[in-house]
Amino acid sequence: MTAILDRNLWTAFGRTLDAHILVRVVASLVLAAIVAVSAALAPMFLAQIVDGLSAGKVDQSVFGLVVAYLAALCVGRLLGQVQSFHYARSDQALQRRVSQLTFDQLIRLPMSFHLSASPGALVQIHSHALQGVRMVLSLACATLFPVIVQMMVILWIVSNHFDLKIWIVVTATIAAYLGVFAWAVHHTSGPINQALRRQVEASGLLSEGLANVETIKNCTAEQRIGLSFARAACEVEEGWRAALLRRLETGMAAAAVFLASMTCAIWLGLDGVRNGQVSAGSFLLLITYMLQVIGPLEMTGYAVRDLTQGAAYLSGWTGLFAERAEQALADPTATVVSHSRGGPPAISFESVSLSYGGGKQVLDEVAFSIAPGTAVAIVGATGEGKTSLLRILQKHVLPDSGRVRIDNVLLPNIELPALRRRIAVVSQEVTLFNASLRYNLLLGNPSSTEDDILRVLRLTRLDQTVAGLGEGLDTLVGDRGFKLSGGERQRVAIARALLRNGDILLLDEATAALDAKTEKALCDDLMSMAIGRTTVIVTHRLALAAIAAKIVVLHKGRAVEQGEHHQLIAARGFYYRLWSTQRVQES
């Protein structure tokens, strides 16, 4: 019950109701109310018809009742179809709206969130949100609201046609059902929440397995990974078994209340007929209304119970919207730094420290500066925090302490889109969309011309590759670009960065997937590309770092050395040892 009353749940649900959807939902509720009233009045007209025929009257009043009875049935049937149409339209619109809101929120969440989240779990949360919204809408439009209207009409008619004993039976029936379903809601929500959490975890395992299927095959780990997923699936099944057992208990209790209430109603009705206080038509009306009261009561109870499940489905979704999006993290008084702010910027890191989630210290008071339009190489062993510096510069993560300035403006005060429009990135792990090569190239700068594309293809040695593709630039590259080789994907990423044309260039192991010949050719192109841009190069390849105007050496999260290549070699320190080791390995 607490989940149903959660304010955050209904706030998130309210986001999905734009004006168009709201009109259709209201129309569906109004039609449902009319259908419910028609369904409640029809038995009353039938009972009066039976009483009239029992008395031998076949006059104009009986024919009027017949017309009223048929009209009630007709209105219920016809408007029921119209109501179903509006409900279905509302449902589809809500599904679209939830998907849109979820995707927009996910891509606006900071990288710090995505670094710790499983894509499969996020997809399952989205699937649960679709199910939850559909369940809430169905219960509101097709169950709760029309049932309440129908019950009110029935209770009004019962109070006017039957004595106090019948009224007590009806009231006691309502109270018993409410008690049963209140117990059901209280005892079912826990197992459902647990089952859904396990389902999200299992989906995360499934997504990771599919994303790493090549690694699984290379390690002959199919059986081991399969067993891990099987255990997770069994835990999901066990969670739902507990929830279904609670549902069975609820159903059995509801059945007991049904039998007891119907027995009392029939007994009192027959007693009334025997004493001449109740006519045959009224007896028929009593039984019909008891069924119509009990049916809606059961539906309402099951609806409230299922609403708890719907709320559980939506709990993970509301949690997504509790996360602060990147735009929300920006300072409201942010200084907007435009792309055309007088050339490439100066960048400085001042005693910057970082740890992910309060864990291991990744960066420890790192300090260095980059002159406008020059290149700085960041070198060091794996895990020293080189890529973390690039993430800070893009505001993917925020440092624990210290300051970063761009053109003497503090990084937190720079508006996020304005900052990222200035930055072109080539990452070590290149992920392409399952779309055309042209789409992937234009992702960072859709306004690029055909001549721009052909120019960067020549610069990155991709022109011959594209010429050999069946459909040229319109060739689909496959899921994550797997139809291309690793080196081709890397060159596509470099070409995309060239088209981006930012005045800050970030190269994160940009040549890692290239063969030695292509790498040597591209190093010159990359340095030509860096002219007129402030460039940060993260690399293990010290031959590329040696070209930079300054080299910063990271060790245990600290900047232990910095200077030009020849200066660091002459100092015979940490960089010298890295350089010597790499030269021996290459030779």
For domain 347-586, give the CATH superfamily. Answer: P-loop containing nucleotide triphosphate hydrolases (3.40.50.300)
* CA dist., res. 487 & res. 518, Å (int): 9
- Counting beta carbons within 10 angstroms of the beta carbon of residue 289, is it exposed (0 to 12), middle (13 to 18) or buried (19 or more)? buried
Q: What is the rounded average pLDDT of the residues 466-490?
A: 80
Q: What is the rounded average pLDDT of the residues 349-368?
A: 85
Q: How confident is the model at residue 339 (pLDDT cuts 50, 70, 90)?
A: very low
The class of domain 7-323 in CATH terms is mainly alpha
Q: Is the dihedral of CA 99, 102, 105, 110 positive or negative?
A: negative
Model confidence over 260-276: pLDDT tens digits? 877 877 777 777 777 77
Those residues with Cβ within 8 angstroms of residue 303's Cβ, 6 or more apart along the chain or in another chain: 139, 143, 144, 147
More confident residue, 10 or 192: 192
Q: How confident is the model at residue 440 (pLDDT cuts 50, 70, 90)?
A: confident
Strand partners, 348: 369, 405
Cβ-based neighbour number of residue 43 at 10 Å: 22
Domain spans of the chain?
A: 7-323, 347-586
- The pLDDT of residue 404: 92
Percent of the chain with pLDDT over 70: 78
More confident residue, 13 or 119: 119
* CA dist., res. 379 & res. 553, Å (int): 5
Q: What is the rounded average pLDDT of the residues 112-129?
A: 76
Model confidence over 144-174: pLDDT tens digits? 677 777 777 777 766 676 667 777 777 787 7
Q: How confident is the model at residue 219 (pLDDT cuts 50, 70, 90)?
A: low
pLDDT surpasses 70 at 306? no
The identity of residue 360, as a single letter, is K
- The pLDDT of residue 1: 46
* CA dist., res. 404 & res. 123, Å (int): 35
- The pLDDT of residue 521: 65
Whether the full predicted model's pTM is greater than 0.75, yes or no, is no
- The pLDDT of residue 416: 81
The identity of residue 335, as a single letter, is T
Residue with tokens 């019948």: 166
Model confidence over 522-533: pLDDT tens digits? 676 677 777 788
Instruction: Looking at mean pLDDT, say which of 196-200, 230-234, 480-484 comes out highest.
Output: 230-234
Structure tokens at 119: 């894509």
Q: What is the rounded average pLDDT of the residues 405-431?
A: 84
DSSP H stretches of helix in 422-500: 437-441, 450-459, 463-467, 486-500
Q: What is the mean pLDDT of the chain?
A: 77
What is the residue-wise DSSP string for 13-32?
A: HHHT--HHHHHHHHHHHHHH
Q: Which range is least confidently modeled, 221-230, 255-264, 268-277? A: 268-277
- The pLDDT of residue 117: 74
- The pLDDT of residue 378: 92
Q: What is the rounded average pLDDT of the residues 365-389?
A: 88
* CA dist., res. 74 & res. 87, Å (int): 20
* CA dist., res. 389 & res. 162, Å (int): 80
Instruction: Looking at mean pLDDT, say which of 69-73, 182-186, 327-331, 354-358 comes out highest.
Output: 69-73
> 331 vs 340, 392, 416, CA distance in Å?
22, 16, 10
Instruction: Looking at mean pLDDT, say which of 133-137, 140-144, 443-447 comes out highest.
Output: 443-447
